[in-house]
Structure 1
Amino acid sequence: MVHNFMDKYGERLIAGGFSILPIAPGKKYPGAYQRGAWRPYKGWNKHAERATTLNELSIWRQWPDAGIGVACGNVAAIDIDVSDAIIAQQVEDLARERLGDTPAVRIGHAPKRLLVYRTAEPFSGIKQHPLEVLCLGQQFVAYAIHPDTGQPYHWPNASLVDQRVDDLPTISQQQTHDFVEEALNILPQEMRPNRLEKHRDSSTPILMDSHGVSHSGQQGTFEAVSDALRYIVNADLPYDDWVRIGMAIKGALGEAGAALFAEWSACAGKNNPATTTQSWSSFKPTIIGAGTLYHLAQQRGWQPEASITLNPVNVTPQGPHPAQGLLSRVQENAVADVPPSEEKLPFIDGPEWDPLDVDGVLGALVEHMISTATRPQPILAVGNALCALGALMGRRYRTETNLRSNLYIVGIADSGSGKNHSREVITELFMRTGHQSYLGGNRIASGAGLLRAVYEHPAILFQQDEFGMFLQAAADRRRSPRHITDILDLMTELYSSASTTFLGPEYAVKDKSGRKDINQPCLCVYGTTTPVLFWSALRSANVADGSLARFVMLKTRDDYPDPVGANVIRPIPDHLLQAVTAIANGGSSGGGNLSGVTATPETSVEPMIVPMEQGARTVFDELSCQVMSKLKTCRSTQWSSILARVWENASKIALVRGVSANPHAPLIRQEDAVWASALVGYAVNRLIEDVEQHLADNQTEQNHKRVLTIIRAAGRQGIPRNRLTRKTQFLNERERREIVQALLEGGQIVADVKPTRTQPGMVYKAA
């Protein structure tokens, strides 16, 4: 039986303020459906820091049998993992008395239960098995099939989809600490947390091996350690005890103990092989080792056989290592659980893009912008010119596949690099030709304001300065007001509605004019921003959910070109004014002054079809094949949405270039297709590079990327350790050491030793 929980409940949970994520079928952990199979969802805890987007939901709805988890942070959950019905009810009653009478109670495997609350502010969770408080960085399953019962999780009092986060009782970290301490006293002694003792009991005799040698030190033998572990039962021990045993195994056996630790960890119901492997690599024991393991095992009744040697100094190596067979079994079992290695970045292959290789109206407009600028910026001039012409030809021209000229382009350049000049030229151009109605305001204040502007003039251009600041507000669904976040959602919907009728939103209280439907809207947006503002505004979700993929990002090659003098005050040539007017008037077959201008569905809008010559078809066929190949290798990754828009954006840009060459008898030529494909390839490749280097969901990830960028900037010769220290003063010594170690283990950098006049020095290079 198929259970599409995401499709049934996802949208209602998001509306209630819950941050949701997909759960792998038959599991209790977040999953991602990649390359035809469910795999662990790496980095899922970013959903605790922001709201889930509807675009993410639309993707997850297509994943087979996806369950729904709720990321904790603005909510916390009291997990009562008690199998005694009477005691479980007593703990629940205490929670209601101390924390509040929540209606949100989830049952998975009765009588175990989970209670959901709202947090005053996010806090770290508490684990005192069988009681746990799930909060920041954790999640719980809300709707799925329970792996033990084979039945759906259920909410006996009130389903979570009928609740809102704001209506749940509010709790604080201190309240949960007090509750857990009090609840533990309700539990019988045998149910209380299974803690491993921290201190050696002086009454415990020192173990003697068959050679009469006492042993309480760090190193041990594989035979003795594995025998001792049989007495240290891993029945879902608390995390710090689990780490302690892992450290002791590594201290006793070194890397030879990895397989033993993996097999011992697998005895726990909550085992995650990937976490086990990652944690093992981070262990660096200096004191803890075999003595700890022998002591703990002895406390539980272990008495080693006389033939077992405790101390490795008494072992004469012969034959294969005793761990060889175990290691082979663990590696075989772990293959299916380890996520696939990272793929190469999916760069688009193609010719070098020359922004000045343009003709027609587009070429004349770009040339005028450059010739009148103090600091010429050809890439920014091209981006703004494409959007301006796209708005003027909106609802007048279309491709054979019914694509339109609506474009979203962002010019990225540093402060003081000449971002404003092209906007000034476009504003003057539209005013001089009588097309000022095509110009939207300098700032979009709300979603309703954007919708009103497009309704009043369905083909419209918005030129937005400080676009990074706008994105920062519009993409922050947790802190920004709804009227701001609506802007980005409406832009996404309008982008995909250019060839059809956009059906306006329904409101509880209708205004006099009712719902505003817009026939074939052509919204063009040209924004400029600095790199710092742009990347600080974004999170990985903006890449994955497709909202970023609709924008063509044009990054300048030189932020500070040599000035050519003061701005040249030169009137716009008459031939350019006439050509722009021809584009705005061309292609409409309807009659009357309002044809193709008003928004209502009754208006006759019949755009001219712009044919494509065979050479252009070949270029786009090759681009489509390349993109499809990369999409298959990047299925369900953050790159999917970006790659999926490559062909569409290239086709739209080729349409604008083709029409600008001849507005009366337009044709998409081979050179239009080549230039448009090269432009989009340039934009996508720069975007992928910058996402990999700059985009971070938290401070830790940001620090890793900053350090890697510094090392990459050093080039082939690398950067000495002392210089890296000077350039990373934003880190303390421990943070710097851990980041460098992580980059080395991840294969992103390599270390080399170079001789100096005094002593050898460490040099780091990008891999």
Structure 2
Amino acid sequence: MVGDLIINPLDDNYGMPNSDEVKPYHKLLNNNPVLTGLFDWQIENTRTYCPELALAFSVASMASLISGRWSYKGTLTSNLYIAVLAPTSVGKTQTMDLFSKILQDSGDENRIGADNFKSEGGMSKEVAENAAKTFMLDELGFLIARIMSPKASQTDTQIQRAILKMFTAFNSGYSPEAKSANSDNNKNNSVIKNACPSIFGVSTPDVFWSAFSSREAGTGFLNRMVVIEAKTIGKRKEPKNSPMPINVGEFVSSIYMRFNTVESGRLFISNDCKTLIDGVNVDKLFQSVTKIEEDLILSDDKYGCVYARLAELTKRVAIVFQVTSNINSTHIEYDNAQAAYDFVRFCLDYSYNSAVNSIKDSNIERLQGEVIKAIDEIKSDKSGNAQNYDGVTGKWIRERMLKRKSSINNDKESDAALTKMCRNGHIYRMEIKKDLGKQTYYYVKPDFLNEFEDVFKSHGYKLRNTINFE
């Protein structure tokens, strides 16, 4: 009976990482006490250990809090568009609640924006109200798919324009979409000064990357994003409901004391914006980053554009690292600039590799990607009975198993995708047959063809390389 069940309370640290597990992430945060404190706080207060989500939260929350209050040489501030790619039920909602609490405790609840973009006008109205508005968006991938679609409505096209333009509008201002010449609303289309909104969005990887083609990757949307994917998903655990770390609370309180005004009841956005300049040798570091950016762009005509804002994003994150390490800073110190580069490069390298492997311009390319993914994810048969192999992880897969694990079937597009892969040498289609038995087909990665042949020949099979799909 249910009443007879004995519930054993979990260890308080069940599902929590040990110190060695979090060290690489603390290092990416330059072992900054405020940022690592936020990282640990997020982990304690969510149901799943997901360090990449905690990493994104730490930087995004402080970037939002600082945005418009500190700038780099008066030209740009710390607003970021951060996308976290993770499966469901890893604590995304709880993380957004923690994000909101930081802004509320800073006295700037007005900085929290809507959780969806319905129109350019609505977004512009919110940013006009608070130039550093932060939009926390669930299912960001669906929004991107909608506004980036070749069939996007005029409303969605205007939203795309607003998101792109506002990212760099801190120094230049943002002009909302013009109304008709006779519109009474035309008077409301004045330039929004110091616009510096932030986006903290979450999505699943498949939904996010399916929203892009190589054409969209080059529009400037992707290179504005700092994309972090959850690679580590821990065990389910109980949130500790721990209070904000003392050092984080002190930093947030300092922001409140510096920028709160009795007259307005709101915090200044840019009226008292502090300017940071280069510390010793920081200008040389940023010059080197700019050269690296140029080289990376030229290295790949199709997806090198992912790195087009490497230097700019490095400067934005450097503001975050510097101010959270010393709120009285007047210069960006070298170690914070270097750490900012390391963090941004970590994220953009992921974006680039995922763009190359996940963005498909046609259904045939999508199917080809599914073939490789199926081979990489097939679980090896350990029985030792070769003719029963469904496949070997990362090496080869049986045709019937491929059709079970992908969209590959007997249609013309599937045949075209497989034929193209075989003719380009990306995979081999191997027929195996024993005496008068029925033939079976496998798809084999080139590097493992000899191993495949040895395994099946040792079991008495005859092998034939074929690209015939009839």
Q: Deviations over 1:69-109 (max 9, x none)?
A: xxxxxxxxxxxxxxxxxxxxxxxxxxxxxxxxxxxxxxxxx
**SS of alignment partner, residue 501 of structure 1:** coil
Tell me the CA shift for residue 641 of structure 1.
2.8
Residue of 83, 86, 101 corresponding to 1:413: 86
1:500 correspondence with 2:172: yes
What number of residue pairs does the alignment pair up? 402
Quick check: which has more Rg, 1 or 2? 1
Q: Deviations over 1:402-433 (max 9, x none)?
A: 22111000000011222222111111222233
**SS of alignment partner, residue 410 of structure 1:** strand
Given that 2:37 and 2:245 are in contact with CA atoms closer than 8 Å, whether structure 1 keeps it comes out as no
Match of 1:57 in 2: none
**SS of alignment partner, residue 748 of structure 1:** coil
1:706 correspondence with 2:405: no
1:629 correspondence with 2:302: no
CA distance in 2, matches of 1:694, 1:763: 28
Superposition CA RMSD, Å: 3.1
Between 649-658 and 380-389, the greater mean CA deviation after superposition: 380-389
**SS of alignment partner, residue 554 of structure 1:** strand
CA distance in 2, matches of 1:533, 1:717: 24
Measured at CA, do residues 561 and 760 of structure 1 come closer, stay the same or move farther in structure 2, by a change above 3 Å? farther
Q: Deviations over 1:646-668 (max 9, x none)?
A: 11111111111111111122542
Q: Higher relative CO (CA 8 A, sep ≥ 6), structure 1 or 2? A: 2
Q: Deviations over 1:286-314 (max 9, x none)?
A: xxxxxxxxxxxxxxxxxxxxxxxxxxxxx
Tell me the CA shift for residue 762 of structure 1.
6.8
Match of 1:683 in 2: 347
Residue of 417, 423, 447 corresponding to 1:739: 417
Measured at CA, do residues 424 and 514 of structure 1 come closer, stay the same or move farther in structure 2, by a change above 3 Å? closer
Given that 2:120 and 2:177 are in contact with CA atoms closer than 8 Å, whether structure 1 keeps it comes out as no
Tell me the CA shift for residue 357 of structure 1.
4.1
Match of 1:568 in 2: 240
Tell me the CA shift for residue 385 of structure 1.
3.0
Q: Deviations over 1:424-473 (max 9, x none)?
A: 11112222332211111222221111000000111111111111121122
Residue of 580, 602, 609 corresponding to 2:252: 580
CA distance in 1, matches of 2:461, 2:114: 64
Measured at CA, do residues 435 and 680 of structure 1 come closer, stay the same or move farther in structure 2, by a change above 3 Å? same
Residue of 457, 461, 464 corresponding to 1:759: 461
Tell me the CA shift for residue 389 of structure 1.
1.9
Query: Map of 1:128-527 to 2, 5 A cutoff?
Result: 354-355=27-28, 357-400=30-73, 402-478=75-151, 480-508=152-180, 509-511=183-185, 513-527=187-201
Measured at CA, do residues 456 and 763 of structure 1 come closer, stay the same or move farther in structure 2, by a change above 3 Å? farther
Given that 2:322 and 2:336 are in contact with CA atoms closer than 8 Å, whether structure 1 keeps it comes out as yes
CA distance in 2, matches of 1:369, 1:718: 39
Query: Map of 1:524-563 to 2, 5 A cutoff?
Result: 524-558=198-232, 560-563=233-236
Tell me the CA shift for residue 713 of structure 1.
4.8
Residue of 322, 326, 333 corresponding to 1:658: 322
Which amino acid in the other structure matches residue 203 of structure 2? T
**SS of alignment partner, residue 518 of structure 1:** coil
Which amino acid in the other structure matches residue 252 of structure 2? V
Residue of 588, 612, 631 corresponding to 2:278: 612
Given that 1:659 and 1:666 are in contact with CA atoms closer than 8 Å, whether structure 2 keeps it comes out as no
Measured at CA, do residues 746 and 361 of structure 1 come closer, stay the same or move farther in structure 2, by a change above 3 Å? same
Given that 1:389 and 1:656 are in contact with CA atoms closer than 8 Å, whether structure 2 keeps it comes out as yes
**SS of alignment partner, residue 71 of structure 2:** strand
CA distance in 2, matches of 1:494, 1:572: 31
Measured at CA, do residues 404 and 367 of structure 1 come closer, stay the same or move farther in structure 2, by a change above 3 Å? same
Given that 2:72 and 2:277 are in contact with CA atoms closer than 8 Å, whether structure 1 keeps it comes out as yes
Given that 2:217 and 2:306 are in contact with CA atoms closer than 8 Å, whether structure 1 keeps it comes out as yes
Which amino acid in the other structure matches residue 625 of structure 1? K
Match of 1:748 in 2: 426
Which amino acid in the other structure matches residue 428 of structure 1? K
CA distance in 1, matches of 2:148, 2:356: 19
- Consecutive unaligned residues of structure 2, counting only runs of 5 or more, are 1-23, 379-391, 428-444
CA distance in 2, matches of 1:666, 1:367: 28
CA distance in 2, matches of 1:553, 1:638: 18
**SS of alignment partner, residue 185 of structure 2:** coil
Q: Deviations over 1:310-346 (max 9, x none)?
A: xxxxxxxxxxxxxxxxxxxxxxxxxxxxxxxxxxxxx
Which amino acid in the other structure matches residue 409 of structure 2? L
CA distance in 2, matches of 1:654, 1:662: 12
Q: Deviations over 1:170-213 (max 9, x none)?
A: xxxxxxxxxxxxxxxxxxxxxxxxxxxxxxxxxxxxxxxxxxxx
**SS of alignment partner, residue 95 of structure 2:** helix
**SS of alignment partner, residue 627 of structure 1:** helix
Which amino acid in the other structure matches residue 499 of structure 1? N
Given that 2:375 and 2:397 are in contact with CA atoms closer than 8 Å, whether structure 1 keeps it comes out as no
Tell me the CA shift for residue 684 of structure 1.
1.6
Measured at CA, do residues 738 and 571 of structure 1 come closer, stay the same or move farther in structure 2, by a change above 3 Å? same
Match of 1:673 in 2: 337
Match of 1:719 in 2: 396
Identity between Structure 1 and Structure 2 (%): 19
Q: Deviations over 1:534-561 (max 9, x none)?
A: 1232222220111121011111121x21
Which amino acid in the other structure matches residue 551 of structure 1? M
Given that 1:613 and 1:669 are in contact with CA atoms closer than 8 Å, whether structure 2 keeps it comes out as yes
**SS of alignment partner, residue 169 of structure 2:** coil
Which amino acid in the other structure matches residue 366 of structure 1? F
- Consecutive unaligned residues of structure 1, counting only runs of 5 or more, are 1-351, 599-603
Measured at CA, do residues 521 and 731 of structure 1 come closer, stay the same or move farther in structure 2, by a change above 3 Å? same
Tell me the CA shift for residue 485 of structure 1.
3.0
Match of 1:291 in 2: none
Given that 1:721 and 1:761 are in contact with CA atoms closer than 8 Å, whether structure 2 keeps it comes out as no
Which amino acid in the other structure matches residue 226 of structure 2? V
Which amino acid in the other structure matches residue 148 of structure 2? A
Given that 2:142 and 2:211 are in contact with CA atoms closer than 8 Å, whether structure 1 keeps it comes out as yes
Tell me the CA shift for residue 640 of structure 1.
4.0
Residue of 697, 716, 721 corresponding to 2:361: 697
Which amino acid in the other structure matches residue 668 of structure 1? I
CA distance in 1, matches of 2:374, 2:98: 38
Measured at CA, do residues 642 and 428 of structure 1 come closer, stay the same or move farther in structure 2, by a change above 3 Å? same
Given that 1:388 and 1:461 are in contact with CA atoms closer than 8 Å, whether structure 2 keeps it comes out as no
Measured at CA, do residues 698 and 606 of structure 1 come closer, stay the same or move farther in structure 2, by a change above 3 Å? same
CA distance in 2, matches of 1:444, 1:474: 10
Given that 2:112 and 2:133 are in contact with CA atoms closer than 8 Å, whether structure 1 keeps it comes out as yes
Tell me the CA shift for residue 524 of structure 1.
0.5
CA distance in 1, matches of 2:78, 2:394: 47
CA distance in 1, matches of 2:96, 2:464: 50
**SS of alignment partner, residue 455 of structure 1:** helix
Which amino acid in the other structure matches residue 497 of structure 1? A
CA distance in 1, matches of 2:169, 2:121: 17
CA distance in 2, matches of 1:481, 1:721: 44
Tell me the CA shift for residue 382 of structure 1.
2.5
Task: Identify, as 1 or 2, the structure richer in helix.
Answer: 2
| TM-score of the pair, normalised by structure 1 | 0.48
Given that 2:276 and 2:332 are in contact with CA atoms closer than 8 Å, whether structure 1 keeps it comes out as yes
Given that 1:694 and 1:705 are in contact with CA atoms closer than 8 Å, whether structure 2 keeps it comes out as yes
Which amino acid in the other structure matches residue 689 of structure 1? N
